């Protein structure tokens, strides 16, 4: 039996919703504290937050320190081999790739997460003494890692929408995740993710994911939106971001104490 397992990969196949939170503050202390909140997953953002490889490693350690079944997810800034390799070696098991627009790009993302096999389909470099392999003590890591890495691709553009069926059918894709703000902008409705065109696109992506037997994910700005997306068939839902909740709570408290 492998000592390297990713429970989130299996849970993405279930219909029960998985609720997570964006970690955008770049703080291992915030990551550790929020790991105690009971989220199914926490996403460490490298695309729009000041996180580098060292920051990601620190937050992975912080989440693990909570000793709770909260799975860390890392969003990469790009589909680059050296970035993927560093994040996986640091111990991440679930990766999110931004702005995937075609089946070829989706397949490339999957290959970046995989060690080479006899079929020659993987591109990940091999190193034994890394955190993911318990610095060489988890001896079955290399043999079992490929099957345990979960790959999430973001659907954020009109071009991706045109190719959504092919992207969803790409082997190795576990979840289609919608970035509503970028999708709205690409569809010509910058700042208006509630526009009917965007709403229709979101519904189509959820339907394609369901038919392809992959999870559908989305970023929700608030609780009401998260509940609505749950009824729409989304099962991997981000409940906004750490900095957003911090500002909402503190601004509300400040307004109340001043009133």
Residues carrying an active site annotation? 48
CB distance 160 to 99 below 8 Å: yes
Q: Token pair for residue 98?
A: 């931004």
Alpha carbon distance 101, 70 (integer Å): 29
Render 2-13 in DSSP notation, one character per residue.
-S---HHHHHTT
Smallest CA-to-CA distance from 55 within 45, 67, 65, 66 is with 45
Alpha carbon distance 103, 133 (integer Å): 30
Residue with tokens 């993710």: 193
CB distance 145 to 128 below 8 Å: no
Alpha carbon distance 249, 255 (integer Å): 10
């Amino acid at each position: 039996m492998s000592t390297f397992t990713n429970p989130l990969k299996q849970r993405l196949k279930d219909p029960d919703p998985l609720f997570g939170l964006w970690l955008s503050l770049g703080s291992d202390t915030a990551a550790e504290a929020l790991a105690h909140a009971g989220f199914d997953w926490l996403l460490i953002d490298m695309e729009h937050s000041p996180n580098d490889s060292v920051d990601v490693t620190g937050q992975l350690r912080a989440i693990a320190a909570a000793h709770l079944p909260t799975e860390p997810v890392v969003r990469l800034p790009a589909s680059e081999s050296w970035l993927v390799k560093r994040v996986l070696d640091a111990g991440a098991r679930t990766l999110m790739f931004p702005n995937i627009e075609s089946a070829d790009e989706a397949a490339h993302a999957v290959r970046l997460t995989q060690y080479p096999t006899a079929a020659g389909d993987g591109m990940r470099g091999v190193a034994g003494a890394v955190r993911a392999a318990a610095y060489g003590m988890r001896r079955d890591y290399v043999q079992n890692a490929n099957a345990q890495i979960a790959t999430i691709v973001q659907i954020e553009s009109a071009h991706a929408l045109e190719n959504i069926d092919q992207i969803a059918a790409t082997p190795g894709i576990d979840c289609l995740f919608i970035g509503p703000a970028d999708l709205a902008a690409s569809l010509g409705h910058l700042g208006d993710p509630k526009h009917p065109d965007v709403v229709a696109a979101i519904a189509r992506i959820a339907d394609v994911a369901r038919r392809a037997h992959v999870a559908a994910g989305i970023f929700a700005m608030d609780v009401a939106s998260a509940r609505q997306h749950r009824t729409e068939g989304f099962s991997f839902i981000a409940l906004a971001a750490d900095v957003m909740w911090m500002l909402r709570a503190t601004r509300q408290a400040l307004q109340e104490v001043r009133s």
